[in-house]
Amino acid sequence: MLKKFWKIISKIIIFLFLITITIVIIFRFLPIPTSSFMVQNKISNLFSDKSTHIEYDWVSKDNISNSIKLAVIAAEDQKFLDHFGFDIESIEKAISRNKKSKRIRGASTITQQTAKNLFLWSGKSFIRKGLEAYFTLLLELFWSKERILEVYLNIAEFGENVYGVQASAKKYFNRNAGQLTYQNAAMMAAVLPNPKRYKVNSPNQYQQRRVLWIQRQMRQLGEGIFKED
């Protein structure tokens, strides 16, 4: 009985492994129709007074401003082009800092955030972190950095029920994602730590300081990563 049990479990694991790899490979080439976070948001809104309408409009990498690409790297993951999904140095610093501070800070890379937003759920647990690490490795193995950044920018939440650079650019600046300026990009990247709390079109003092910091980082990173607009 025990052998049969483990045989069934091993078959299930292999099946799930093959399914997840297949999905990741398919999503390497096709526009992403939705994300796990969007679906969860819609479901949670059903049980509240909030609108279930999600603002989301996929746009290809060629129609995304280089400024917003540079801004999110500057704000979220400056070693994005160099690491394999995990920034070990930042993780070690975050662990050390969190031991001394009550305010917990993470060290998630853009790849990790893409894996979480696309496939998983919010919240903290060892199971979710383990799955996040698994999907992060799959994305780094089967996708290019360019594709990871393209998907991240398309599914990242920039405001309440607003996902992706195209919907956000339209809503907050009345322009397309390819027309975002240096200033627009920094303002959008500044809300990424908490898009439900911070507002792109109504920045508080913290956001204003963060916009200036992001712009400085963008200038330092410069054209070695992307050509600035």
pLDDT for residue 105 = 59
| Count of CB atoms situated within 10 Å of the CB of 100 | 6
**One domain for residues 13 and 107:** no
Give the integer Cα–Cα distance in Å for 74 and 27.
26
Name the residue range of residue 209's domain.
Answer: 31-224
pLDDT for residue 228 = 43
**One domain for residues 38 and 26:** no
Identity of the residue numbered 136? T
Residue 216 lies in a domain: yes
**One domain for residues 49 and 106:** yes
Residue 208 lies in a domain: yes
Give the integer Cα–Cα distance in Å for 184 and 182.
6
**One domain for residues 52 and 118:** yes
Give the integer Cα–Cα distance in Å for 48 and 41.
11
Residue 10 lies in a domain: yes
Q: Helix or strand or coil: residue 162?
A: strand
Alpha carbon separation from 167 to 44, 53, 62, 91, 217 (Å, rounded): 21, 12, 16, 32, 25
pLDDT for residue 229 = 42
Q: Along the 229 residues of the chain, how does pLDDT read in single tens digits? A: 778 888 899 999 999 999 999 999 999 999 999 999 999 999 988 888 777 789 999 999 999 999 999 999 999 999 999 999 998 888 778 777 766 665 555 679 999 999 999 999 988 889 999 999 999 999 999 999 999 999 999 999 999 999 999 999 999 999 999 999 999 999 999 999 899 899 999 999 999 999 999 999 999 998 566 554 4
**One domain for residues 140 and 189:** yes
Residue 129 tokens read as 């972190």
pLDDT for residue 32 = 96
Phi, psi of 14 (to 5 degrees): -65, -40
pLDDT for residue 122 = 84
pLDDT for residue 162 = 96
pTM: 0.91
**One domain for residues 21 and 132:** no
**One domain for residues 54 and 14:** no
**One domain for residues 13 and 89:** no
Cα Rg of the chain (Å, integer) = 19
| Count of CB atoms situated within 10 Å of the CB of 179 | 14
Count how many domains the chain has: 2
Give the integer Cα–Cα distance in Å for 33 and 43.
17
**One domain for residues 87 and 128:** yes
**One domain for residues 89 and 7:** no
pLDDT for residue 226 = 54
Residue 229 lies in a domain: no
